[in-house]
Amino acid sequence: MQVKPSVRGLKPYQPGKTPEQVREELGLERVVKLASNENPYGASPEVAKAVTESLVNVAVYPDGAARALRKETASRLGVQDNQLLFGNGSDEVILILCRAVLEHGDNIVTAWPTFPQYRHNAVIEGAEVKEVPLQEGFHDLQAMASEVDSRTKIVFVCNPNNPSGTHTGADEFRAFMKQIPEDVIVVSDEAYKEYVDTDDYPDTLSMIDEYPNLLVLRTFSKAYGIASLRVGYGVGNVELIAAVEPGREPFNTNSAAQAGALAALKDVQFLDRCVSSNSAEKRKFEQFCEENGFHYYPSQANFILMSVDLPGGDVFDHLQRNGFIVRNGEALGFPRHVRITFGRPEDNDRIQEELLALRQEEAGVD
């Protein structure tokens, strides 16, 4: 069977093991997954109600325009309805954009390490990927701007960045936008935006009128706690959204997902509680790292990239044997780190105990 050359050699995304798999394989009673940056508090109770009610019409195609969700999202963001592009997760919005914009011989500019789907989708479309190394875990926007040339079509800025959790500040981002040609699309991927608790964060939505080449990505998978329903969206200039919309498949967000996302969006109190808890647990985890001499990157997300000065695979294995699934940094470009989602307080306390136990074990201390 022949596939196009750009797909040859690409590997499909490999999800990690589920808690059920780990429990069965290791004979554990309880396994906590802190690997995929999901909301440890789940979703608003209103989500399950809305999803259940939507199943009455399961035989009917969903609203292809996601009108109810579109109207509510636009109202809360202060944008027009036709400035939104919905996808089966923000991953699909990236796919739609690359499908609509990129051709063989074009290129994109990204940081590295960063979210891998930028590269993956660009390569499928035959584009070159220019990767600019992070500097101390942060985007080097000046170096990224220098990589833009006449064949550059898209620049991706993951903010906060996955996997480092670091953020790009407001002044730095605005200065960067001024350097990018207006025919190059700049994507500000803000999957973790709701968790940001610094004042130094770009208000990108207010910049869209000034920069019609700016596309902002958001998702319901993280803070809103509905990762399994797969709903994300892009916000941009009306003309930009209209130009890339033909790359979207019809009915790409299902009725249950739309209903669940709408319910999640409306339950502001639940979201606020989750965000507040995340900020508190983040401060505690960073303090733990500082007190014990563990390197970490300052996070504006719901996870921490940290090191106990051992290979990431060794830390991953130890934690998994003791009931925690985390992300091995060796697969993320940080071979001596692990990425840990902030969980519930009791789980964060337990995983910190295991990290200390591992260090003592490696040092030969009983």
Per DSSP, the residues of 159-218 read SS-TTT-----HHHHHHHHHHS-TTSEEEEE-TTGGG---S----GGGGTTT-TTEEEEE
Spacing of C-alpha 224 from chain mean position: 13
pTM of the complete model: 0.96
- Residue 282 CA to residue 43 CA, distance in Å, equals 20
Q: What is the pLDDT of residue 98?
A: 98
Over residues 186-200, mean pLDDT: 98
Q: What is the pLDDT of residue 16?
A: 84
Phi, psi values for residue 147, rounded to 5° = -80, -15
Spacing of C-alpha 323 from chain mean position: 24
Tell me: the pLDDT tens digits for 58-98? 999 999 999 999 999 999 999 999 999 999 999 999 999 99
What burial class does residue 55 get, using C-beta atoms within 10 Å of its C-beta: 0-12 exposed, 13-18 middle, 19+ buried?
A: exposed
Q: What is the pLDDT of residue 366?
A: 52
Q: What is the pLDDT of residue 12?
A: 87
Q: What is the pLDDT of residue 8?
A: 87
- Yes or no: say if 265 and 257 are a contact pair by the CB < 8 Å rule: no
Q: Is 62 helix (H, G, I), strand (E, B) or coil?
A: coil
Sheet of 128-133, strand order: 84-87, 232-236, 214-219, 185-189, 152-158, 107-112, 128-133
Mean pLDDT of the residues in the chain: 97
pLDDT band at 363, cuts 50/70/90? confident
Token pair belonging to 160:
């906060």
Tell me: the pLDDT tens digits for 248-297? 999 999 999 999 999 999 999 999 999 999 999 999 999 999 999 999 99
Q: What is the pLDDT of residue 270?
A: 99
Q: Is 255 helix (H, G, I), strand (E, B) or coil?
A: helix
- Yes or no: say if 267 and 107 are a contact pair by the CB < 8 Å rule: no
Terminal-residue alpha carbon distance, the chain: 57
Token pair belonging to 150:
């006449």
Radius of gyration from C-alpha coordinates of the chain: 21
- Residue 133 CA to residue 159 CA, distance in Å, equals 15
- Of the candidates 306, 302, 284, the one whose C-alpha atom is nearest the C-alpha of residue 350 is 284
Q: Is the pLDDT of residue 101 over 70?
A: yes
- Of the candidates 352, 288, 341, 277, the one whose C-alpha atom is nearest the C-alpha of residue 33 is 341
